[in-house]
Structure 1
Amino acid sequence: MGEKPFIVIWESTRACPLACLHCRARAVPDRDPRELDTQAAKDLIDQIAAFGRPAPLFVITGGDPFQRPDLLELIAYGTLSGVRVAVSPSGTPTLTAQNLTAVHEAGAVGLSLSLDGSTAELHDGFRGVPGVYRWTLDAWDTARRLGMKVQINTTVARHNLDDLPEIAALVRKHGVMLWSAFFLVPTGRGRQLAALSPEETEDVLNFVYDVGLSIPAKTTEAHHFRRVTLQRAVLASKGEDHVDALRLGPLYRRLRARAEELGLTTGERRARRPPLDVNAGRGFVFVSHTGTVHPSGFLPLGAGNVRTRPLTEIYRESELFTGLRDAERLGGRCGRCEFRRVCGGSRSRAHAVTGDPYAEEPWCGYQPGSFPYQSELAHLLAAATPGTG
């Protein structure tokens, strides 16, 4: 992870017709004249290719990337450059079968869509525009028919906590490469939304682990999911009841009961490996619409600009990126935690809440050293930590 990121996300534009309640980008109707133009965007793709093969996955997002008339040209250029390209559009009327077919034929390997409710009322209410739910489902089915890999992202927020099992059931019905539960970072418009408690976060993380038996599931900005997967593996090997051992609460019990009713907790675990050890600046890069490089789209600290400094150099050498890859710099409970090298907490949320990207994870209630079976855990931690197993 110190030499090459796993994924580079480019905010191709902030133009978007939606008004999502949690929007990081504070999206606006019109494009910004300061955006990277076509040639600058191709230069960015060249910089990504310079990391070497296999190149990082390049995700074109926004705003709504369909607002850029050069989108297909850039996808094709990336594909010819040996860079795998995926597109993360907004749920708008631009998600037509014609546009998705063109994106696929240009070379895009995947599509990332957002689904924040199992009904139009819940999803459209969160996204601020009626019709988004239907456009999203239609695009999802179209992309699957085209043979594209589809990732569905769900923002975990108060409006949909008890709807998560229904969303997971919808994911299973339509089929995905991956379902990602995104835990809100209070940036942009998201500052106005109520935070989850650490206890509620723990309940949802364990629910996501449970439904991994029926759908491939992961989390975004909830890096302590890696801790949960290791804890659950140890407890299962010991025949321990995870509900009691982890002191899970009423939200988990409700989610688990509904998941069982929907048949989401049976089968073989779909994940082929533990969740990737990717965090802000550690395997992850975000490039803004103007070319500024950030460790994450939710961590608004810049480390340079691709117009004036190569992305390879920024990622490998900038103080911000190298610092975020150093687990010894973490503060508070994160700095003392035995899971710090496989989790590290959300650096984006730590910064959003405290102003310090190295502070402890605000939505984690785990007390370092409190998990039983430390010797068994140490063996799994060694195997899960690069360079130690």
Structure 2
Amino acid sequence: MPQNRGAGGSGPARPQGAVRIPRHDASDRPFIVIWEATQACPLACRHCRASARPWRDVGELSTDQATELMVQVAAFGEPPPLFVITGGDPFQRPDLMRLVRRGTELGLPMSVSPSGTPTLTRPALAALHEAGARAVSLSLDAAAPATHDAFRGVDGVYAVTTRAWRDAIDLGLKVQINTTVTRDNVADLPRIAAQVRDRGALLWSVFFLVPTGRGRRLHELDAQQTEDVLHLLYDIGLTVPVKTTEAHHFRRVYLQRTILERRGVAAGQVLNLGPLYHRLRRELDELGLLRAARRARRPPLQVSAGNGFVFVSHRGDVHPSGFLPVAAGNVRHQRLADIYRTAPMFTALRDPGRLGGRCGACEFRTVCGGSRARAYAVTADMYAEEPACVYQPGSFPFPDDLAALVPA
């Protein structure tokens, strides 16, 4: 969800060109809490992490239990973590507006991530806004109706989504657009970016597929394709506000490109840019996307699984990430703060010294760390090296420049 809240640092000033860090110590409190309110959803999205189904689970957190969860999130202190209600489809819960209103009363910045279903109407969005929601995130996984609807498994979803996008902005809600990228839709990225530019959004979040849930049946990008897309997103960042999900090595790309631009060195001279990058970059140029009015580039935020981020399932299980299906506790029996601060899994994920393979040897490990969810999905070891990264530790030619931007 949108992460435009101040996220500087309470200590020394962040060096210009460095990644952003949350204002408060990530070992003490999360920057963002995502609660999976339900797994019920009438869609059958091909990538669904939750393997959502049409009916609600009788084991979902009750209204009172969900309210207690929000009380515990607010107790982390000021400023409170962002609180995102996701699913499934949150609109399948009849108490959604009540929960949004209660979270707002507790002082939480409330956002909702609905599905593109017939429940996503202008009156429903207006009710969310009236209850206090600040933002919604909507999914757009293809540039054309037929291909998007095929990805989502139901006809008409593209039309519902684009209408809701327009209505949300008109009602005063901030909008984040989410795109899950796979080998099947990667060619659409320039045209999706053009839609984000033209329709307007606070943020475009590009999700890099993790093979979990129904997503195991899709074709994820290989490491070189991932690298190419990350560099493409860096290019787009002067026109469209962009972030990545489960591609933490975008922070490495951001630092590399920043240093090269300061030195006046073309990225292609020293970095590994493959054919997919060049093909997609040509389409960006043809669309005129990079000729648009330039904006300040949005530095990536240093938040990752268990390190500024926590996910609570519909049954109350606490995970470092929604894509990492290993629970560290349950809010029905333990305080969320205790799990987040002291559970061995969470404390270990905040220690870059636990990383193995190339990640453990990498000079970018303290700002990147790789996707622990992808490492687990591919190797069953959440500390293994990032499978979707091509970078060879020590190969960046300007280590002194890097040392000024990367904490030891």
**TM-score grouping bracket, smaller chain normalisation:** over 0.9
Q: 126-135 or 247-256, which moves further after superposition? A: 247-256
Deviation track 1:46-86 (CA, whole Å, cap 9, x = no partner) reads: 01001001110000000000000000000000000011110
Select 2:264's aligned residue among 224, 239, 253: 239
Pairwise CA distance, 1:271: 3.5
Q: 306-315 or 233-242, which moves further after superposition? A: 233-242
Pairwise CA distance, 1:269: 4.1
Select 1:217's aligned residue among 217, 230, 242: 242
The answer to whether the aligner puts 1:193 opposite 2:218 as a matched pair is yes
Q: TM-score, normalised by structure 2?
A: 0.92
Contact 2:205 2:245 in 1 (8 A): yes
Where structure 1 has 5 or more consecutive residues not aligned to the other structure, the ranges are 383-387
The answer to whether the aligner puts 1:182 opposite 2:207 as a matched pair is yes
Which residue of the partner structure matches residue 321 of structure 1?
346
List aligned pairs for 1:89-128, cutoff 5 A: 89-128=114-153
Instruction: Quote the sequence identity (%).
Output: 63
Q: 191-200 or 65-74, which moves further after superposition? A: 191-200
Deviation track 1:102-147 (CA, whole Å, cap 9, x = no partner) reads: 0010000000111000101111110000000000000011110111
Which residue of the partner structure matches residue 385 of structure 1?
none
Please give the root-mean-square deviation of Cα atoms over the aligned residues, in Å.
0.9
User: How far apart in 2 are the matches of 1:135 and 1:367?
Assistant: 44
The answer to whether the aligner puts 1:257 opposite 2:282 as a matched pair is yes
The answer to whether the aligner puts 1:5 opposite 2:26 as a matched pair is no
Contact 2:184 2:219 in 1 (8 A): no
Select 2:382's aligned residue among 357, 360, 365: 357
The answer to whether the aligner puts 1:271 opposite 2:276 as a matched pair is no
Which residue of the partner structure matches residue 88 of structure 1?
113
Pairwise CA distance, 1:256: 0.7
Contact 1:112 1:150 in 2 (8 A): yes
Q: TM-score, normalised by structure 1?
A: 0.97
Select 2:59's aligned residue among 31, 34, 42: 34
The answer to whether the aligner puts 1:337 opposite 2:342 as a matched pair is no
List aligned pairs for 1:128-147, cutoff 5 A: 128-147=153-172
Letter in 2 for 1:175: G
User: How far apart in 2 are the matches of 1:87 and 1:208?
Assistant: 25
Q: Secondary structure in 2 aligned to 1:158?
A: coil
The answer to whether the aligner puts 1:303 opposite 2:328 as a matched pair is yes
User: How far apart in 1 are the matches of 2:353 and 2:67?
Assistant: 37
User: How far apart in 2 are the matches of 1:55 and 1:337?
Assistant: 33
Deviation track 1:121-180 (CA, whole Å, cap 9, x = no partner) reads: 111110000000000000011110111111001001122111100000000011011001
Q: Secondary structure in 2 aligned to 1:73?
A: helix
Pairwise CA distance, 1:247: 2.4
User: How far apart in 1 are the matches of 2:296 and 2:181?
Assistant: 21
Pairwise CA distance, 1:301: 0.8
Contact 1:234 1:377 in 2 (8 A): yes
Contact 1:122 1:159 in 2 (8 A): no
Contact 2:36 2:86 in 1 (8 A): yes
User: How far apart in 2 are the matches of 1:379 and 1:42?
Assistant: 44
Pairwise CA distance, 1:327: 0.4
User: How far apart in 2 are the matches of 1:84 and 1:250?
Assistant: 42
User: How far apart in 2 are the matches of 1:373 and 1:328?
Assistant: 23
Which residue of the partner structure matches residue 284 of structure 1?
309
Which residue of the partner structure matches residue 186 of structure 2?
161
Aligned length: 382
Letter in 1 for 2:98: E
